[in-house]
């Protein structure tokens, strides 16, 4: 008789645990609201408006490019005589950077 009572309590306990396990944990209301917000469609991204290049800045850069480029033949003449000007590599890098920047600004 005791065994029957114990078995009926155990089966009732397992039945209740199975039923409550199917329902899962309760979800706090804040989580549901957050899911609604995160699943909303995003607003269309605003297109980046390309800014017009600053003509004064472009002229300064073009003048600097011309000045640096004008000095390269004399620097190369020194290289031919066996003298390597210490700032030649820096001048060439600066020329490259200015030319790339001007090309990018004018191609937009």
Query: What distances in angstroms separate CA 16 from CA 10, 24, 27, 75, one per listed residue?
Result: 10, 13, 20, 91
Q: Which residues contact 58 (CB under 8 A, 6 or more apart)?
A: 102, 105, 106
pLDDT for 81 equals 93
pLDDT at 65 over 70: yes
Q: How many Cβ atoms sit within 10 Å of the Cβ of residue 85?
A: 15
Residues in the chain: 108
Distance CA 71, CA 92 (A): 10
Give the chain's mean pLDDT: 81
Q: Domain map of the chain by residue range?
A: 55-107
Q: What is the pLDDT of residues 22-55, one digit of tens each?
A: 556 667 777 777 777 766 666 666 666 667 788 9
Task: Using alpha carbons, select from 89, 69, 70 the residue that is nearest to residue 79.
Answer: 89
pLDDT tens digits for 5-14?
Answer: 877 766 766 6
């Amino acid at each position: 008789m005791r065994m029957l009572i114990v078995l009926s309590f155990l089966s009732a306990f397992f039945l209740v645990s199975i039923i409550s396990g199917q329902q899962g944990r309760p979800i706090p209301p804040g989580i549901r609201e957050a899911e609604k917000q995160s699943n909303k469609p995003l607003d269309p991204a605003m297109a980046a408006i390309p800014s017009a290049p600053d003509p004064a800045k472009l002229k300064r850069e073009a003048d600097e490019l011309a000045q640096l480029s004008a000095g390269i033949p004399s620097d190369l003449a020194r290289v031919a005589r066996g003298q390597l000007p210490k700032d030649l590599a820096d001048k060439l890098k600066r020329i490259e950077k200015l030319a790339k920047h001007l090309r990018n600004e004018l191609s937009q």
